[in-house]
């Protein structure tokens, strides 16, 4: 195929994501500060950290356990209520999408899928 490059424009982002997945800190970014590569690596690292934070939230865990949105234990109009609700909606959305596609939600698939 003429004109097709084998360059992966997301390589650094993938590296940062994988680094966070293995427990490395943001300070272990191998690229020089102020470069696009540094920013892309950091972006990938942050994406994974945000994903972990979401999956550890109370609401996310509650949806995974089969609780309903109406079972939010926090008082309405509080930050905790909104955080729980956001986590629950994230997991519930993943479950609905997986059901529509007839498969396990993203992040829950065995390796190699």
Task: Write down the domain spans for the chain.
Answer: 10-56, 59-104
pLDDT reported for residue 61 = 94
- pLDDT grade for 69, boundaries at 50, 70 and 90: very high
pTM of the model: 0.63
pLDDT of residue 31: 94
Collapsing DSSP to helix, strand or coil, 69 comes out as helix
Do the Cβ atoms of 54 and 35 come closer than 8 Å?
Answer: no
C-alpha to C-alpha distance for 98 and 51, rounded to whole angstroms: 17
Residue 100 in tokens: 């529509």
């Amino acid at each position: 195929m003429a004109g097709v490059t084998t360059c992966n424009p997301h390589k650094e982002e993938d590296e940062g994501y994988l680094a966070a997945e293995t427990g490395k800190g943001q300070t272990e970014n191998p690229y020089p500060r102020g470069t696009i590569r540094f920013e892309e690596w950091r972006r990938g690292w942050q994406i994974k950290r945000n994903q972990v934070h979401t999956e550890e939230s109370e609401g996310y865990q509650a949806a995974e356990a089969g609780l309903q949105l109406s079972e939010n234990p926090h008082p309405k109009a509080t930050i905790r209520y909104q955080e729980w609700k956001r986590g629950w909606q994230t997991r519930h959305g993943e479950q609905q999408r997986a059901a529509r596609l007839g498969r396990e939600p993203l992040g829950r698939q065995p390796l190699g899928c």
